[in-house]
Structure 1
Amino acid sequence: MSISPFLLPLLQGMMFSSPSPAIEIKPGQIFKGKVLKLFPDQMALVRIGGTQVMAKLETPLSVHEETWLQVLPQSNPIALKVVSGRQNRTGNQMGNDASPNHIKVSELLDSLGITPTKNSEEIVQYVVKNRLPLTKEMILFFRNAFQIASESKEPLSSAALRESWYKSAQIILDKNLPLTEETLKSVQMIINGPSIGSLIDKLMNAIKVLEIPSQQAADQSSSQSQQIQVMNRSQAEPQQAQVSNLSQVQSQQFPFSEQSQFIEQAIVQLRGKKPVNDGVNKLIQQLIRVLELIKGFPRMDQDNNHSAIEAIKPSESFLPQMIRKLGLAYESHVKQILFQPDAVQVPETLKGELLRLFSVLERADIHETLQPRETTQLKDAAVKLIQNLNGQQILSRNDQNHPFVNYLFQIPFSTASGEYRTLYLQMEFKKSSVGKHIDSDNCRILFFLQLDQLGDTLLDVNILNRLISIQLHTNHPMVTKVAKFFQGILSINLEKYNYRLSSMKVSSFPEEKVEEKKEMKTYQRRYRGVDIRI
């Protein structure tokens, strides 16, 4: 299941929410400038974005004239020459959207020493629209990103899809990370890929159809491959079809209790197998570890509301515990092992076990024993899950010297239908004056859930001087009545922690996409910071 269209602009807004750095004028850089004042000796006061600079104009310009300018090398004071798109304010001005009708893109590329192509012209338009420095290095950076994206299995026929790859590359640029195939695909998995819950479903389906050879008794030697059984036939309901292997399971919908039994029975069946070689033995052990980790993820079981609430409530230890289980701190633990091998033990995490699973699937004896189609399917599912986890880590990477911190997490949980869903958790907060802890007096939290009965549910919590306001977005008709019923109870419980509830509102999601985009722009401007503790 992909991210809701209502939530995606909020998440992307958080990714680019850091303040824009001061403009650094470099030789060869091209930018759109407007002449504010003229002085003798061809000197002028020029506005570049929100910055005003004194520069010498190589080409005469008039006051209020707006045009494309390029910084000349080795000039003191700064010298600027006109590139293209020269326009007077009374004429047809260039808009902020950088419309191709207003910009001679080919001339801009020629000035940068780059051969104009359709791809390069599209990159220039993206760079200008997002107000990035228009330099040769910037164009080459995005061109390399486009080359990596072109080599992926995903077609780039859609302009929206190509822009999502550019956004992923821009995040890598903002985070000051190297542009590689893995970093780009990992960010793209968060921006435009399926959720972690959907990826876990895909991994489970790949395990279900996996045929693992086993040394069987003499009366079973006619077949060297048996698939893991999902359930004991005696446990299946009479009206259900008899299931003898996992390949028959993936087309059926099982309630949570049977989904849980599938994992338990799969682990039992795997432990009972007699591997034919060392590669198969390591594969069995890795599958067991992965299944045991997935089994420990929280659940939303509608038949047992109390245990469901206890499993997913945001207690003080819930988020750190899930971060460790998913492996979002995996590299940090490995680093500690390298420098303090006796002091730290790397915990079992989903990311760590998936990396080991991928390594096992690369073994030669696995390729010789298992069906290539099945190992490819399992490997692809594992790689995409790893990319999702890497993407979360990249988007949560923050500058230690920056006063604000951004986090984005996807927490998987299973539902009553047996599917895995995703809790999206967005956090943007200011570090407190004491150390680098969260300022829990002034912060904000954003939860997003996709549930079977309630559907899309967005919970937005604002905390200002320990005064809490809650905004709940949902299209379910009964939520308003339920929220009013629990508002008094919530207020009393918050006061125990020295917080006061100021308001609690319930509203539906926008229906029309055009209105939705406008609402998102206003919503994002009000967004200041978040926290996970109430």
Structure 2
Amino acid sequence: MDPLQLQASSLTKSSTSRQTTLSLPKGQVFEGEIVKLFPNQTAALRLGGMTVTARVEAALNAGQRYFFQVHQNDGIPRLQVLEADQQALKSSSADQGNAAKVLQALGLEENKANLSMIRHFQSEQLPFSKDMIRQGAVLLKQAGAMNQEGVQLLSAMNQKGFPLTQETFQSLYQAEHGKPLSAQLQQLQNSLQQLQTSGFSDSRTAAVSNLGRTLQETLSAGTMNLAGRTDQTNQLARLFQLAGAEEAPGSVRSGAVSLLQKAGVMPAGMDTAEGLAAFKQTILKPENQTAVQQIWPEMGAGGSGRKLASMEPAEMFQTLMTRFTPAKGEAGRQQLQQLLSLLQQAGGQSRGVQASQDQMQQMMQTMLARASGTAENQALTVLLQGSFANDRTSGAQGFSQTAGQLTQLLQQLGLHHESGIARQPASSGNTPEHMNADNLKQSLLQHMASLPQPVRDQAETLLHKISGQQLLSQEQQGQYQQTAVQVPLSLAGFHTDLSIQWEGKRQEDGSLHPDHCRILFYLEMEHLGETVADVQIQNRSVTVHVYNDTEKPDKLMELIQPYLEKRLEEQNYSLNAVHWRPVNEEQNVYKTPTASYSGWEGVDVRI
């Protein structure tokens, strides 16, 4: 379970865990056990896992359970036993008769919704109020959630201080039980595209068009590695470029050629004088000119610039390899296939190498498994570092490219929408309805009512998903703060959600202390599947635990770790260790902020 869903789930499961904070405002009702009686009508009461000392205005028996209502909460709290048949309200079991008596004592109607909520509060030993039961019953009926899940979420909202409104309930429900954010975005985009061909009125057509444009901007903002694509076609293309890169060290060039040969992509001897001469002859053959033009549109024999025929074989090889930049998708795969065929032809081999997606993946795995020696490892290191390029931008804040893109994506989703409205000058005259729909949430709010009903339902569900994330994004416990966000990503065409959770001590400016903190990354990837990275920082020393069920890629880790160490050192951090473990060992990774740090124990009771 990713951090955000776990944070949502913890709302409804917190009642079963040990409570550390209790809030009992005036009018609140709870079921408690008399632990011990003291003089002056004072008693120790047990509520769940907590003990409260209060003044009770009734003759009670130790060891018995009663329903109490908070009458006064100044100083020592003053409690009243709920006015009803006390013998009937002694709760040795939470049966329907007892629940009905509680409703009667509160002056509430005896119906399915009210009975269900009372029994849940009894079984979980949670406090409640008359208004909560009355408002909650209406809310659950409207939401169609008259079930245990609905009641649990309702009680959690009350405990966390969330307003008991339909919007809040639906938002939190979507955060815990809804489809992934990326899936909802894709579904709504497909529905809007289908509507664009329908003959709607001008206002509805404009709503569909404007929301569709904002949605596409959001999806584009989450498309990663646009400049440094990491699919197999471009990884192989990068190796070809390294093989011919004149500016690269000779060991890197020879290592790239050796790797291509080990994978069966480049014939043996291609880097010799005879091999290079044969490659030039193959390139200049008339029957190959169509393929050459398709692989290198600007470098064909009839193209502008210096003629290929006038180049020396080594110069031609370097020029063509360094300028091999395949297109995206299927067109790029076909260009790679044509290059492989020309290489095999130059090597005197009649059987061409196939370049399907599965076969290209196998080629890359073969290179990684068979890489040996300094030259091949250097070539692989350069290749991998190019895949993980994350240079700092030139902006004032100095974000890395990835951090800048994620920041833009959070803005585009509308996770800072309300704070942006609050910062608007009062004199601007802009209301939420008239502001430019420059983020997805604002666009949903502005155009949702104009959509046809089925698509409107999808848009409303997506809006609740975003709002639920906003409600759950931060949790404060003492000096420690926990922040979680979830963003949709597209990784080489694979759509997924990235959840990030920060935990740490809060500084005066509201930021987390960079020397002592923890960051959790949760990502479902196309080939690696469920992946969790737990980054723990103590005294600027970084320890990384990666949880994944695939076999540990020892060779890959060996090549990447020095690069990771170097990049961390640039930020004045040191790498302590990187561990790779199966997913089933990460069950204890997700903890509350106080559980993540030692020295925080005790009880804080507020009445």
Q: State the partner residue of 1:392.
A: 469
Moved more, 347-356 or 275-284: 275-284
Give SS of 2:443's match.
Answer: helix
Give SS of 2:164's match.
Answer: coil
**Following the alignment from structure 2 to structure 1, what is the Cα–Cα distance between the partners of residues 414 and 561?**
36
Structure 1 position 191, deviation (Å): 0.8
* Deviation sequence 1:100-135 (CA, Å, 0-9, x none): 479943333333333444432331243345553233
1:142 corresponds, among 123, 136, 140, to: 136
**Following the alignment from structure 1 to structure 2, what is the Cα–Cα distance between the partners of residues 140 and 390?**
25
Give SS of 2:424's match.
Answer: helix
Structure 1 position 347, deviation (Å): 7.5
Change (3 A) 1:50 1:484: farther
Q: State the partner residue of 1:297.
A: 222
2:456 corresponds, among 361, 379, 388, to: 379
How many residues get paired? 423
Q: State the partner residue of 2:343.
A: none
Q: State the partner residue of 1:179.
A: 164
Q: Is the 8 A contact 2:415 2:470 kept in 1?
A: yes
* Deviation sequence 1:300-322 (CA, Å, 0-9, x none): 66425778745898844343222
Q: State the partner residue of 1:201.
A: 186
Q: State the partner residue of 1:317.
A: 404
Structure 1 position 25, deviation (Å): 6.0
Q: Is the 8 A contact 2:500 2:521 kept in 1?
A: yes
Q: State the partner residue of 1:12.
A: 9
Give SS of 1:317's match.
Answer: helix
Q: Is the 8 A contact 2:12 2:153 kept in 1?
A: no
Moved more, 134-143 or 299-308: 299-308
Q: 2:451 aligned with 1:355, yes or no?
A: no
Highest RCO, 1 vs 2 (Cα 8 Å, sep ≥ 6): 2
Structure 1 position 205, deviation (Å): 1.7
Q: State the partner residue of 1:435.
A: 509
**Following the alignment from structure 1 to structure 2, what is the Cα–Cα distance between the partners of residues 287 and 356?**
13
TM-score, with length taken from structure 1: 0.66
Structure 1 position 349, deviation (Å): 1.4
1:112 corresponds, among 106, 117, 121, to: 106
Change (3 A) 1:343 1:353: closer
Amino acid at match of 2:584: P
Q: Is the 8 A contact 1:413 1:421 kept in 2?
A: yes
Structure 1 position 447, deviation (Å): 1.1
Higher helix share: 2
**Following the alignment from structure 1 to structure 2, what is the Cα–Cα distance between the partners of residues 411 and 377?**
25
Q: 2:393 aligned with 1:408, yes or no?
A: no
**Following the alignment from structure 1 to structure 2, what is the Cα–Cα distance between the partners of residues 6 and 330?**
22
TM-score, with length taken from structure 2: 0.59
Q: 2:209 aligned with 1:284, yes or no?
A: yes
Give SS of 2:533's match.
Answer: strand
**Following the alignment from structure 2 to structure 1, what is the Cα–Cα distance between the partners of residues 71 and 4?**
45
Q: 2:107 aligned with 1:32, yes or no?
A: no
Change (3 A) 1:436 1:8: closer
RMSD: 4.3
Change (3 A) 1:292 1:403: same
**Following the alignment from structure 2 to structure 1, what is the Cα–Cα distance between the partners of residues 512 and 114?**
43
Q: State the partner residue of 2:78.
A: 78
**Following the alignment from structure 2 to structure 1, what is the Cα–Cα distance between the partners of residues 61 and 207?**
73
Identity within the alignment, %: 22
* Deviation sequence 1:399-444 (CA, Å, 0-9, x none): 7x9744333322111244x452111122333311x32222122221
Give SS of 2:423's match.
Answer: helix
For residues 467-506 of structure 1, the aligned pairs below 5 Å read: 467-479=541-553, 482-483=556-557, 485-506=559-580
Moved more, 67-76 or 125-134: 67-76
Q: State the partner residue of 1:68.
A: 66
Change (3 A) 1:58 1:470: same
Structure 1 position 85, deviation (Å): 8.3
Structure 1 position 450, deviation (Å): 0.9
* Deviation sequence 1:20-50 (CA, Å, 0-9, x none): 54443635623312323443x6544444453
Q: Is the 8 A contact 2:214 2:439 kept in 1?
A: no
**Following the alignment from structure 1 to structure 2, what is the Cα–Cα distance between the partners of residues 126 and 387?**
26
* Deviation sequence 1:318-369 (CA, Å, 0-9, x none): 43222111111122223333525399996821222333332443xxxxxxxx
Structure 1 position 398, deviation (Å): 6.1
Change (3 A) 1:115 1:348: closer
Structure 1 position 278, deviation (Å): 5.7
Q: Is the 8 A contact 2:12 2:156 kept in 1?
A: yes
**Following the alignment from structure 1 to structure 2, what is the Cα–Cα distance between the partners of residues 352 and 191?**
23
Give SS of 1:510's match.
Answer: helix
Q: State the partner residue of 1:58.
A: 58
**Following the alignment from structure 1 to structure 2, what is the Cα–Cα distance between the partners of residues 14 and 461?**
25
Q: State the partner residue of 2:176.
A: 191
**Following the alignment from structure 2 to structure 1, what is the Cα–Cα distance between the partners of residues 497 and 529?**
12
Structure 1 position 72, deviation (Å): 7.5
Q: Is the 8 A contact 1:43 1:55 kept in 2?
A: yes
Moved more, 328-337 or 123-132: 123-132
2:414 corresponds, among 320, 323, 327, to: 327
Structure 1 position 509, deviation (Å): 2.3
Amino acid at match of 2:473: S
**Following the alignment from structure 1 to structure 2, what is the Cα–Cα distance between the partners of residues 296 and 149?**
33
Q: State the partner residue of 1:228.
A: none
Structure 1: 5+ residue stretches without partners: 88-92, 151-155, 214-224, 226-274, 362-374, 530-534
Give SS of 1:291's match.
Answer: helix
Change (3 A) 1:378 1:22: closer
Give SS of 2:171's match.
Answer: helix
Give SS of 1:494's match.
Answer: helix
Structure 1 position 481, deviation (Å): 5.7
* Deviation sequence 1:489-514 (CA, Å, 0-9, x none): 43343233232333332222239xxx
Change (3 A) 1:81 1:207: closer
Q: Is the 8 A contact 2:27 2:129 kept in 1?
A: no
Q: State the partner residue of 1:153.
A: none
Q: 2:498 aligned with 1:423, yes or no?
A: yes
